[in-house]
Amino acid sequence: MRRIRDVLRLKFEAKLSDCALEAAVGISKGAVAAYVSRARAAGLSWPLPADMDDTALERQLFPGQPAPEAR
């Protein structure tokens, strides 16, 4: 499962570096950078909108890909 919400929270709220995020979340620096880049390109900031669940977040960052339920 993707840890997008955790990455964004730690990056924007806790101000962790990509290296620190890699260790904290257990994903590569490349994935961390990609999530942050996609969030910025989508105009998202922290905190995320209250009504945005993980599925909606993933759809916004990865348009055109199947929803998690469909995988």
- Which tens digit of pLDDT belongs to each residue from 10-67? 999 999 999 999 999 999 999 999 999 999 999 999 999 999 999 999 999 999 877 6
Residue 68: the pLDDT is: 60
Q: Is residue 68 a part of any domain in this protein?
A: no
Residue 20 belongs to what domain range? 4-62
Q: Is residue 13 a part of any domain in this protein?
A: yes
Looking at the structure of the chain, the number of domains it has is: 1
Residue 2 pLDDT class (50, 70, 90 cuts): confident
Inform me whether the pLDDT recorded for 69 exceeds 80.
Answer: no
Secondary structure element (H or E) that encloses residue 10, with its range: helix 4-12
The label of the residue with tokens 């490349």 reads: 30
Q: Is residue 69 a part of any domain in this protein?
A: no
Q: Is residue 38 a part of any domain in this protein?
A: yes
